[in-house]
Homo-oligomer: A and B are copies of this chain.
Amino acid sequence: MTTAAQHRFLIIADGQFDPLTSKTANSCIRYFPERIVAVLDRSQAGKTAQDVLGFGGAIPVVGRLEDGLTRGATVVLIGIAPMGGQLPSEWRDWLRTAIERGLEIWSGLHTFIGDDPELGALARARNVSILDARRPPPDLPIADGRAANVSAFVVLTVGSDCNVGKMTAQLELRSRLVQRGHRTRFVATGQTGIFIEGWGIAVDAVVADFIAGAAERLVLEGARDADIVLVEGQGSLIHPGYSGVTLGLLHGTVPDAMLLCHQATREFIADYRPGGAPWVRIPPLTELVDIYERAAAPVRPARVIGICLNTFDLDEAAARDAVEHAREATGLPVTDPVRFDPAPLADAIVDAAVAAR
């Protein structure tokens, strides 16, 4: 498949463009802002990405599809991942128009645009490419433990919740480790990572029996030409909706080490509030470390070797306090790898990889 570097994107995040909800849009803006011509959100037209997110610079938020198309987009990218993954019906007109104009559609929804009777047929008739990043490969195996035998050092990010920075942390660490000369590969397990890297499997979209098999295949592929493999984690072992994906990924990747990701200010699982009330309280970091190490242990023991602390909603001083507090509580290296220097975690990975030889 193609990668983001070859395209110019109009991102649809209608009604949901904000720091927390539009996770796919935001990650694309963080990792290839120079390729993004506009974000479509009727409720915030006239602002910039910087206004809304605090990063992303002058990328305009537009209120009409046309305002994005005239800026030279070659791809319309669906930048939100709604609960359940259904295609909002009012977007159908936009996608039809985009296909008629010859733009590719990139989507991470569970409902595959390419299988939509109208849009899929239109795209085929116009010879327009639709990338459904969540579509699993057709021939996934049941895991059989082969990921345990790769010679590369495999690091999995795990989290207190969804959307705390498990992909972002690995991308920052990949950059740093590559800078230092380590042969390092990032392995995408979700749609945004697949958009960024051009390969991967959205493990939350495979048939449940094959979660670990998909994870195993990804590790084998990632380890072919790397000494360090950084696997993007998914969900959380304490997230009632998605914990199965998390455990399957943990046991299928058979990591050598884990990095625990957490948003410093988050007290409850964010998107799981039956009747609107918070339900699942996030336990202290030391307990989360224990939960993940115990879950890994029956298959193969692996330690949490560092904490990635997401501090985007804290001011500078509070962020530094939060990092220091987490370091004292856990005795582990801690940083916000986006905001601060990722070196403490890069060091922890290299040290652990050396020690494991």
Chain A residues packing against B (C-beta within 8 Å): 83-85, 110, 141-146, 148-149, 203-209, 211-213, 237-249, 251-252, 254, 272, 274, 279-281, 283, 291, 294-295, 298-299
For A206, what are the chain B residues with a Cβ–Cβ distance below 8 Å?
A: 207-208
| For the complex of A and B, 5 pairs with smallest distance between CB atoms | A244-B248, A145-B274, A238-B298, A244-B244, A240-B251
For A245, what are the chain B residues with a Cβ–Cβ distance below 8 Å?
A: 208-209, 211, 244, 248
How many copies, total?
Answer: 2
Check if A145 sits within 8 Å of B248, measured CB to CB. Answer: no
For A205, what are the chain B residues with a Cβ–Cβ distance below 8 Å?
A: 207-209
For A244, what are the chain B residues with a Cβ–Cβ distance below 8 Å?
A: 208, 211-212, 244-249, 251
Check if B145 sits within 8 Å of A272, measured CB to CB. Answer: yes
Minimal beta-carbon separation of A137 from chain B (angstroms): 13
- Cβ-closest chain B residue relative to A250: B243
For A110, what are the chain B residues with a Cβ–Cβ distance below 8 Å?
A: 207, 209
Check if A299 sits within 8 Å of B240, measured CB to CB. Answer: yes
Besides A213-B241, A244-B246, 10 other A-B contacts (C-beta < 8 A): A85-B209, A146-B274, A204-B207, A208-B211, A238-B298, A239-B251, A240-B251, A240-B254, A241-B251, A244-B251
For A272, what are the chain B residues with a Cβ–Cβ distance below 8 Å?
A: 144-145
For A213, what are the chain B residues with a Cβ–Cβ distance below 8 Å?
A: 241
Contact of A299 among B141, B144, B208, B238 (CB under 8 A): B238
Check if A209 sits within 8 Å of B144, measured CB to CB. Answer: no
Contact of A209 among B145, B242, B298 (CB under 8 A): B242
Minimal beta-carbon separation of A271 from chain B (angstroms): 9
- Cβ-closest chain B residue relative to A271: B142
For A243, what are the chain B residues with a Cβ–Cβ distance below 8 Å?
A: 212, 247-248, 251, 299
Give Cα distance in the complex from A248 to B149, angstroms: 27
Give Cα distance in the complex from A258 to B20, angstroms: 36
Please, could you name 20 A-B residue pairs with CB atoms under 8 Å apart, sorted by A?
A145-B279, A146-B274, A204-B208, A205-B208, A206-B207, A208-B211, A209-B242, A211-B245, A212-B240, A212-B244, A237-B247, A241-B251, A241-B252, A243-B248, A244-B244, A244-B249, A244-B251, A246-B247, A283-B298, A295-B295
Give Cα distance in the complex from A169 to B110, angstroms: 35
Give Cα distance in the complex from A281 to B143, angstroms: 17
For A83, what are the chain B residues with a Cβ–Cβ distance below 8 Å?
A: 142
- Cβ-closest chain B residue relative to A206: B208
Check if B274 sits within 8 Å of A241, measured CB to CB. Answer: no
Minimal beta-carbon separation of A142 from chain B (angstroms): 5
Minimal beta-carbon separation of A94 from chain B (angstroms): 24
Minimal beta-carbon separation of A297 from chain B (angstroms): 9
Contact of A208 among B148, B248, B281 (CB under 8 A): B248
For A299, what are the chain B residues with a Cβ–Cβ distance below 8 Å?
A: 238, 240, 243, 279-280
For A280, what are the chain B residues with a Cβ–Cβ distance below 8 Å?
A: 298-299
For A291, what are the chain B residues with a Cβ–Cβ distance below 8 Å?
A: 294, 298
- Cβ-closest chain B residue relative to A83: B142
For A142, what are the chain B residues with a Cβ–Cβ distance below 8 Å?
A: 83-84, 241
Give Cα distance in the complex from A310 to B142, angstroms: 26
Give Cα distance in the complex from A246 to B239, angstroms: 14
Contact of A240 among B84, B237, B252, B283 (CB under 8 A): B252
Minimal beta-carbon separation of A240 from chain B (angstroms): 4
Minimal beta-carbon separation of A345 from chain B (angstroms): 25
